[in-house]
Amino acid sequence: MRRNRTLRSIALCAVVILWLAGCRGNGPNVVAIEGTVTHEGKPVPNLMIWFEPTSGRPSWGISDQQGKFRLDYDPEYDGAVVGMHKVWVLEDPALNDPTAMMGKTRPKRSPELEAVLAKYGSRDKSPLQVEVKRADRNFQLKLD
């Protein structure tokens, strides 16, 4: 009697583990990507960074004052889909939020930021392509 209960418990645990393992397998193959965005070796703050795969939805992140960023895919996944990506950037839209800027002038862009946006500032003209192969928490995005 006791042996049957033990076998049933083991079988139930195995079924639950297999069920839980299978739940994550149906989603996209997204891996964590975080790192630093630089231009001529210096961190670039306040950029909205887009990673757009060959097919599927894009990922995005915003660089902080040290140029650090983390990509978001959707509410369930952080990172980017494994594969080739077109990469482009925009100035962080929060910097020009009309509500936050009431009565203030728009901050002047540095020549470095102007150069970055001139080359990488739109999906159509950015020449940058990167391949995401695996999770990378020290991704170096060089905009040179």
Residue 21 included in any domain: no
Residue 13 included in any domain: no
Q: What is the pLDDT of residues 58-114, one digit of tens each?
A: 999 999 999 999 999 999 999 999 999 999 999 987 776 666 556 677 678 889 999
Residue 90 included in any domain: yes
User: Could you tell me the two tokens for 113?
Assistant: 């930021």
* Complete edge-to-edge strand list for the sheet that includes strand 47-53: 59-62, 47-53, 83-91, 129-132
121 contacts: CB under 8 Å, gap ≥ 6:
88, 89, 90, 91
**Residue 52: which CATH number?**
2.60.40
Name which of 40, 35, 34 is nearest 143 in CA terms: 40
Residue 7 included in any domain: no
Q: What is the pTM of this model?
A: 0.76
Number of domains in the chain: 1
Q: In the predicted model, what is the mean pLDDT of the chain?
A: 84
Average confidence (pLDDT) over 13-41: 72
Residue 5 included in any domain: no
Residue 101 included in any domain: yes
Q: Which residue range is the domain that position 39 belongs to?
A: 30-142
Name which of 75, 71, 66, 74 is nearest 85 in CA terms: 71
Residue 127 included in any domain: yes
